[in-house]
Amino acid sequence: MDVRIGISDISRELQVRTTSTADEVAAALNEALTNNSTFELADDKGRRVIVPVAKLAYLDLGAAEGRPVGFGAL
């Protein structure tokens, strides 16, 4: 799933491709907001993105699967 993270005072957004589901990402965000700590997300290559909740502007959860490319079985 693709996740776009907007950070205040920064014009570009972070784009992260993760193996987590939308519910798992939302739960991690809710926990970080409750604790007023940092939002942490691991991408599909094992790297971690850590953003302070105070600087988090928005979180955009994309589609769970990408579009198929090529001639596959329908």
Per-residue model confidence (pLDDT) at position 62: 85
Q: Residue 66: is its pLDDT beyond 70?
A: no
CA distance 20 to 69: 22
Predicted confidence (pLDDT) per residue in 3-42, tens digit: 999 999 999 999 999 988 999 999 999 999 999 999 999 9
Cα-Cα-Cα-Cα dihedral of 59, 57, 37, 39, to 10°?
A: 30
Per-residue model confidence (pLDDT) at position 68: 62
CA distance 1 to 71: 22
pTM: 0.77
Integer angstrom CA distances of residue 17 from 5, 14, 64, 72: 11, 10, 10, 23
